[in-house]
Amino acid sequence: MSVPAARARVARHDLLIELGTEELPPKSLHLLEQAFAQGLRTLLAQSGWVVPELQSFATPRRLALLVRRLPARQPDQAVKRRGPPLTAALDAAGQPTRAAAAFAASCGVAFESLQRERDTRGTEYLAFEGLKPGADTRLLLPRLIQQALEALPVARRMRWGALEAQFVRPVHWLVLLYGDEVVPATLFGVESGRLSRGHRFMAPAPLRIGSPSRYARTLAERGRVLAPFAERAASIRAQVEALAAGFGGSAIIDAALLEEVTALVEWPTAIAGRFDERYLELPREVLISTLQEHQRYFALEGRDRTLLPWFITVSNIESPEPEVVRAGNERVVRPRLADAAFFWQQDRARPLAARRPALDEVTFQAELGSQGARSERLAALASTIAARIGADAAAAERAAQLAKCDLLTAMVREFPELQGIVGYYYALADGEPAAVAEAIREHYLPRSAGDALPASRLGDAVALADKLDVLAGIFALGQKPTGTRDPFGLRRAAIGVMRILLEHQLELDLVELIAQAVRLQPLPGLEQRAALVSADIYDYVIERLRAHCLERSAESGISTEMFDAVLATRPPSLLDFAARLQALVGFIARPAGAALASANKRIANILRKSDPAQRRAVEATLLREPAEQALYETTRRVRAPVLESIQARAYAAAFEQLAALRPEVDAFFDRVLVNDPDPALRDNRFALLRELAALFGGIADLSCLPG
């Protein structure tokens, strides 16, 4: 029987891994589950397995994986090794040396079984090609699981007891089953077994897991634990929606809240509660924040989107007295709502604008001054932007001056996630223009990569000013983000700038705005390095644009080289950048475009070896060859229309006109010797190529593209 045939009938069994812990951080649980599954999948693939079906589980007290039909042995692996060169492997009599014998022994074969191969320089070596038999799966699993767990994205790991082992939370049990058998292992000081644990209160006794395939059913039926994360989330959603419908409304189910609640419970039970209707007078966002952010409750709204005096909480226990649970939750939320109502009344006793002087006492950043000083910078920048995008510059200045005032309110101190929103309501209550109030609300947008953008041009102006100021200030301090560290949210700010400019089609000179933001920073000696700081900020925003474009490369056709080709021209407007990029994608898709891109690369290589200080203008009298004369004439003919198209940002038309040069360019390189022995002819041909490269370079540097 052949080895492949024997391997084909290797036994397969299900694998179960369950790591039991103290309560895992709810906001990280789903991420940890996904990372554990992906990590083990990757490690199995790297070890030679065709990755089988894998199901993950996560509850507050466990991370678990079920791998279906994992072979009992690792697949045989092809091995290719290079040994010593023949000069060292054979002695003068042609017999193997000790080095050759040692290499053969390390490969597990006789010297005569070794092969010979030659490298690119002609040196001949001993070589071995063969199959390495796969190891027993049960022997490999502990190491692979340990590696997957150690690679989890955990910001801070804990030690417990006298152990040196570290994990996100102390580990209390480990189930490791391959088929019906326990795989011997010790992880985080805990020995593997088949005993799991159910719900902490409703089923505290140890649970024996008979086989991996019965894991989820055993936990659900005997342990009162719904282990699959998605199944638990679906159950919560269904229960919450059913309860909400009973009150004639619908639940506001925020995705992040649903995920967090799912991570907090093992046996979800939805319970409705009520609060006093007088709290409905509070702004909608204040009520929702109180219920969602502080209590992890789901708010309810009617068909007209007005909030109802009900909430739904999800308990982690199926209580025989649900009314007691309901009363307890109502008792807890009551003082929170009372506090919010008190802050609302207290704050409105003073106009928002009356808080402006106090911003001078609030430090934004030690070297960048106070929030008051920052507000004045925002006002100057926002008014400039507003004037250029058709918004009211005076209103933008007013909104920017008031934008940070709500940081001093009791409401924002208690509910920091409502900054901007609280300012909006207070500005309206003070009689500020609605557009100014709306800009105060919108100036933090977008708060995340996928968040909504400002809905008004005034909001765009203040939001851009806010983001450009923080980028300018922190970059000027030399504290741009490194790795995952970004305390001032500069990545978010740069993405916000990019999205507002592109998605709202704002024709703004980003380079000029960055320079203005840098000039406004109160740092001594900044004038001497302002240009370098501004260039760094531009590059930082452009890198966010690069990521945005390449994420969609499959449908857009944009490549890294295309992006770099446009970046080489450093367009000051992101709209202009996007237009050049779109035109370049269409141009390169054509045969003439690809050919001319290759020619440009060749031109760049030739010019790189020339002296740029030599002849810069082409002399027609020195054009001796018909092919160079034809290229010169065609270049002269298309220059004016190409430059007009570039000026009008009709880049597709400009590329269309440049495509007419292909026959002359091809003929030039086929028939003309650029490096002519005659220096005058050679320099003149270099000048012709420089003119040609400059004409193409008015849109993008095609030499960046692959030849």
Cα-based distances in Å from 478 to 187, 363, 520: 43, 19, 16
Q: How many CB atoms lie within 10 A of CB 556?
A: 14
Angle at 151 between CA 145 and CA 152, to 5 degrees: 95
Cβ(402)–Cβ(352) under 8 Å?
Answer: yes
Q: 467: which 2 tokens?
A: 């983001």
Cα–Cα distance between 201 and 394 in angstroms, integer?
62
Residue 474: burial class (beta carbons within 10 Å; 0-12, 13-18, 19+)? buried
Cα–Cα distance between 177 and 66 in angstroms, integer?
10
User: 59 has which bridge partners?
Assistant: 62
Cα–Cα distance between 321 and 430 in angstroms, integer?
48
What's residue 107's pLDDT?
Answer: 82
Residue 689: burial class (beta carbons within 10 Å; 0-12, 13-18, 19+)? buried
Cα–Cα distance between 224 and 318 in angstroms, integer?
9
Residue-wise pLDDT tens digits, 412-457: 999 999 999 999 999 999 999 999 999 999 999 999 878 999 999 9
Output the DSSP codes for 326-358. HHHHHHHHHHHHHHHHHHHHHHTTS-GGGGTGG
What's residue 158's pLDDT?
Answer: 92
What's residue 461's pLDDT?
Answer: 98
Q: How many CB atoms lie within 10 A of CB 67?
A: 23
Output the DSSP codes for 509-558. -HHHHHHHHHHTS--TTGGGGHHHHHHHHHHHHHHHHHHHHHHTHHHH--
Cα-based distances in Å from 525 to 136, 169, 531: 67, 49, 12
Cβ(251)–Cβ(299) under 8 Å?
Answer: yes
What's residue 4's pLDDT?
Answer: 46
Cβ(561)–Cβ(705) under 8 Å?
Answer: yes
Cβ(506)–Cβ(458) under 8 Å?
Answer: no
What's residue 74's pLDDT?
Answer: 80
Tell the residue number behind the tokens 């920091």, with chain if given.
416
Q: Does domain 580-704 have CATH number 1.10.3470?
A: no
SS3 content of the chain, % helix, strand, coil (to 5): 55, 15, 30
Residue among 580, 553, 583, 556 nearest 568 (CA): 580
Cβ(347)–Cβ(426) under 8 Å?
Answer: yes
Could you say which residues of the chain have pLDDT below 70?
Answer: 1-8, 611-615, 707
Cβ(67)–Cβ(15) under 8 Å?
Answer: yes
Cβ(94)–Cβ(113) under 8 Å?
Answer: no
Q: 648: helix, coil or strand?
A: coil
Hey, where are the domains in the chain? 10-74+136-222, 77-132, 229-347, 353-551, 580-704
What is the reported pTM? 0.80
Residues in the chain: 707
Residue-wise pLDDT tens digits, 367-396: 999 999 999 999 999 999 999 999 999 999
Q: 239: which 2 tokens?
A: 């229960």
Tell the residue number behind the tokens 């009211």, with chain if given.
392
Strands 62-71 and 186-187: unpaired
What's residue 119's pLDDT?
Answer: 82
What's residue 1's pLDDT?
Answer: 36
The yes-or-no answer to whether 10-74+136-222 and 353-551 have a common fold is no
CATH code assigned to 353-551: 1.10.3210
CATH code assigned to 10-74+136-222: 3.30.70
What's residue 121's pLDDT?
Answer: 79
* Peptide linkage before 446 cis (omega within 30 of 0): yes
